[in-house]
Amino acid sequence: MDGSESGGIRSQIQDLIYLAGPASAEIVADVALCPMEAVKVRVQTQPGFARGLSDGLPKIIRSEGVRGLFKGLVPLWGRQIPYTMMKFATFENTVELIYKKVMPTSKEECSESVQLGVSFAGGYIAGIFCAVILHPADNLVLFLNNSKGATVTDAVKKLGLLGLLTRGLPLRIFIIGTLTGAQWVIYDAVKVLAGLPTTGGASPATALARAVSA
């Protein structure tokens, strides 16, 4: 096996980790999130249902049992898992590409502030992809919640496929892009404070070894 083949295999394994890691974490996180999401949806769509979690959770349990808190779990997975996989995989690969193709010097020669700037740029680009992935589902949910008895077919007929995909998209890109960029800057800033390298450049194992030896 030559170097290019082994490099390709390493890249594939790395991409698999970037996808499987956040997906598995999101599966677990959504189990904790789902009861809060159930209360939030009812508070938003049923005026007077509850003031918040303190009275909303017991109300759902009394009327529907504990299972009522988790009946939206599968749709939540369907929305959040692709979003989180896109967020992590796009960020990691975008940062790698910026250091390889855009930066005039190697990562090691860049100052910490420049590296954090790369993290923000990578996060913002990842946010754009996340917004595109998430937007149709959110438009659909918004339409169904605001139109009593409406179906998915009604939403497609009313908004049109193009409207479902693009209505309000620029604002969502700005919000999610900025938020995601800020999240990754904070993430890498904390790593810097802890003496760890920022994302990108050398492989994580090599970068960590360098940080420890330094």
Q: Residue 38: its pLDDT value, please?
A: 85
Please tell me the total count of domains within the chain: 1
pTM for this prediction = 0.74
Which residues make Cβ contacts (< 8 Å) with residue 153, sequence separation at least 6?
A: none
The strand ranges marked E within the chain are: none
Chain centroid offset of residue 186 CA: 15
Contact of 35 with 98, CB cutoff 8 Å: no
End-to-end Cα separation, the chain, in angstroms: 34
Q: Can you give the residue range of the structural domain that contains 203?
A: 3-213
Task: Residue 141: give its domain's CATH number.
Answer: 1.50.40.10
Output helix, strand, coil percentages for the chain, rounded to the nearest 5: 85, 0, 15
Residue that is written with structure tokens 């009522």 in the block: 68
Q: Read off the pLDDT of residues 68-115 as tens digits, 9 standing for 90 and up.
A: 888 878 878 887 898 899 999 999 999 999 999 999 888 989 999 999
Token pair listed for 177:
């892009």
